Amino acid sequence: MFRIAIKFLILVVFLGSIMIWIMKPTSTYSNVWRLSIQAKTNSTYLGKQGGPLLLHTFPILFIAALGCVYLHLEKKRGITNCSERAAEEKNAVSLWKQPVFVKGPLGIVFWTELAFIVMFIALLVWSFAAYLKIGFSQIVPQLAAESGEQVWQANLDIAALRLGNLGNICLALLFFPVTRGSSVLPLVGLTSEASIKYHIWLGHITMTLFTAHGVLYIIFWIATNQLSETLKWDKIWISNVAGELSLLFGLFMWVTSFARIRRQMFELFFYTHNLYTLFFIFFVLHCGISYSFIAMPGLYLFLIDRYLRFLQSRQKVCVLSSRILPCETLELNFSKNTGLEYSPTSIIFINVPSISKLQWHPYTITSNSNLEPEKLSVVIGRGG
């Protein structure tokens, strides 16, 4: 009963967050909800950040905390992995787990994934259309003339700004798929291995929107003879230089993440991706701390996960045995704690300090934690 109550509460908070995202581009939210929330949360302790913290940061962290409790209860109940949880589900939803696309730029896409993709694209289209409708309706020739602009130039300014808002929606979700130890992924039946493709999709969409945001602003500044704005660093409001630096670091990561470059020059991709720290620092300096709280929960959970994985990586493991298999493959058997459980074909990262203290290589686990509770096995091919 307690488990069901937790799951229901998580669902309510999640649907509430979705409703906020849907209502955010509307005038009702801007003129009524936001003002009311700011008036009630603008306290001595929270200040102007109270609204974003309440609407965007707190719900996600609350879901993650409840998720930890729920998964702990599931483990005590004896359901410890995604495959066992899936066995409990009814056959009525099996259709949603069937692939709808097998070949294509997105790889294998299931009906459930397609449904979420359509809903996410619908949210982006709805948000952009609502933002533009409200913004364009407020632009009249007299108002544009007061700013020394033409109507189309003012509309271009609004379109560029709103593309940045859409990019922030994607950025808010970008870190969840790569937070391997998070409780959020198991709550929806996902593993860290299966979620990588969502990070790739979101990364491409995010950088497309942010690049369009930057390019349109450059066109706007050229059209209005304000090219000096590219060197503006406002300490109070928007810092254009910080935004340009953030976009530059994002482009470095984006270019090296395409499949051809990633597979042929993986080290370049790996080390370049560490620029996400500079990308996010300058992103915060660009748009301000209050607005960045929208994307902060995912990054916060990701940083906690990285720290915990860093602590885990300090532990040394013992190789029980090794043997050469046919086709020039090597099997390594490691000792492990009986409490370590995993699904078949899970991924484990291995570091050999005598070869490199920095490089961690992923390998597929070939053993079963239920059949071999004290041993973990991996098979390494000749090519690594």
E-strand stretches of the chain: 99-101, 109-110, 319-325, 329-335, 347-350, 361-364, 375-380
Judged by average pLDDT, the poorest of 59-73, 200-214, 334-348 is 334-348
pLDDT at 96 over 80: no
pLDDT band at residue 133 using 50, 70 and 90 as cut-offs? very high
Residue partners of 10: CB distance under 8 A and separation at least 6 = 63, 66, 67, 70, 187
Instruction: Note the pLDDT of residue 26.
Output: 93
On whether the CB atoms of residues 158 and 136 are closer than 8 A, the answer is yes
Q: Which residues contact 98 (CB under 8 A, 6 or more apart)?
A: 110, 111
Percent of the chain with pLDDT over 90: 42
Radius of gyration of the chain (CA): 24
| Per-residue confidence (pLDDT) for residue 291, from 0 to 100 | 84
Instruction: Determine the pLDDT at residue 94.
Output: 58
Res 63: pLDDT: 94
CA distances, 61 to each of 6, 53, 198, 295 (Å): 14, 10, 20, 12
CB 301 within 8 A of CB 179: yes
pLDDT score recorded for residue 384: 56
Is 171's pLDDT higher than 90? yes
Tell me which of 37 and 47 has the higher pLDDT.
37
Report the C-alpha gap between 47 and 293 in whole angstroms: 13
- pLDDT bin (cut points 50, 70, 90) of residue 131 is very high
Report pLDDT for 92. 44
Question: Mean pLDDT highest for which of 170-174, 193-197, 295-299, 310-314?
Answer: 170-174
pLDDT averaged over every residue in the chain = 86
347 compared with 304, residue with greater pLDDT: 304
pLDDT tens sequence across 40-58:
887 767 777 888 888 889 9
The 10s digit of each residue's pLDDT in 232-262 is: 888 778 899 999 999 999 999 999 999 889 8
Q: What is the greatest pairwise CA distance in the chain?
A: 80
Can you tell me the distance from the alpha carbon of 41 to that of 36, in angstroms, rounded to the nearest whole number?
Answer: 9
